[in-house]
Amino acid sequence: MITVQVSPAGRGQGSRVYEVRVGDGAAVLLAELVASQVPAARHAAVVTDEMVAATSWFETIDPGLPFEVHAVEAGERAKSVANVERLCREFASTGLSRADVVVAVGGGVVTDLAGFAAACYHRGTAYCTVATTLLAQVDAAIGGKTGVDLPEGKNLMGAFWQPVGVLCDTALLATLPAREWTSGRGELAKYTFLGEPRLADLPLDAQIGRSVARKAAHVEADEREGGPRVLLNYGHTFAHALEAVALDAGADLRHGEAVGVGLVFAALLARRLGRISDERVAFHRETVRRFSVSDRLPAGLETVDPKELLAYMARDKKAAHDLAFVLDGPDGVELVHGVAPSDVLAAIEELACT
């Protein structure tokens, strides 16, 4: 079992430290986690999606307390303001108190939604996570960023609300369909450019552990994304815009699939701005493909309107009344403000033609 400590307030702030446990069978530690981190809790609300709730292993979930299951629909559409209200009202109807605990069991959609509902309920109720997908284990469940989507864009409404613990049970990954594996690998590819250049050569448990540790380091340095934590969004500005367009069009696109394409877009944009070479662009494509993720626009979105994508990117949370992107360069990956719309549109056109 791999254990990674996360200290959002920085090292030395012992009261804020929580653990991420990675390994086969980690989910059985849930009751122990709840008892040690939320000792006053007398009740639990287990939030999951309908697909996870239907699996045989879900019946073994045990927070060690009386609990109710609150299941939402599977997929990105579950990340809605309406579902936050629904969950909070259900929490209230079951008598969940501020001293109790919310348990998120699922992938990134569930952790984002349940974490935000916990942040809102009683102005902050403890929550912990059993992450069931590769995407959640290497990214979404770690670091306390919670939220839901608005029609204007992804993750525009949310809160920083840290979990009291995260369990990454690698045995559960065996149940994932192929595209969920791809989605998680898109996030793994990102960490190659954030200090883990040999990540693809490691065993799966080590890939997850190293990714968690890398993210923990960024969170410890910058809990609320005012500085170095923003680098974790590498590839995400374009990815979130592509996801929003796909959602509007009813296209089936997973987050990690979009991130893979977003990494390539970021490389094309960086080259256009004179920040990186042709060889570095090729390395981005090679890295994405090595993690078995496509480096091209997905089927059905090859002819997406670049101006529509640009409009979504202009509303990205990194923007400060300008276009801002995390881009590779001579000093590594960094946040670049004031990118010209014409360069963004040209990079989108280049991506669509390759």
Q: What is the mean pLDDT of residues 188-198?
A: 96
Confidence band for 14, pLDDT divided at 50, 70 and 90: very low
318 is catalytic: no
Q: What is the mean pLDDT of residues 110-124?
A: 98
145 is catalytic: yes
Whether 168 shows a pLDDT value over 80: the answer reads yes
Which of 21, 70, 79, 145 is the catalytic position?
145
Whether 317 shows a pLDDT value over 80: the answer reads no
Q: Where are the domains of the chain?
A: 2-176, 228-352
Whether 123 shows a pLDDT value over 60: the answer reads yes
Whether 12 shows a pLDDT value over 90: the answer reads no
- Residue 42 CB partners (closer than 8 Å, separation 6+): 65, 66, 97, 99, 100
21 is catalytic: no
pLDDT at position 224: 87
Cβ-based neighbour number of residue 298 at 10 Å: 18
154 is catalytic: no
255 is catalytic: yes
pLDDT at position 16: 74
pLDDT in tens, 335-349: 999 999 999 999 999
215 is catalytic: yes
Q: What is the mean pLDDT of the chain?
A: 94
Which of 154, 214, 255, 272 is the catalytic position?
255
pLDDT at position 320: 67
CATH class belonging to 228-352: mainly alpha
Contact present, 229 and 216 (Cβ < 8 Å): no
233 is catalytic: yes
Distance CA 269, CA 311 (A): 17
CA 353 to mean position of chain CA atoms: 29
- Eight-class DSSP state of 298: P
Quick check: do 2-176 and 228-352 share a fold? no
pLDDT at position 13: 41
Which of 21, 210, 240, 318 is the catalytic position?
240
Which of 187, 220, 223, 243 is the catalytic position?
187
240 is catalytic: yes
Which of 225, 243, 254, 317 is the catalytic position?
225
> 2-176 domain in CATH 1.10.150.130?
no
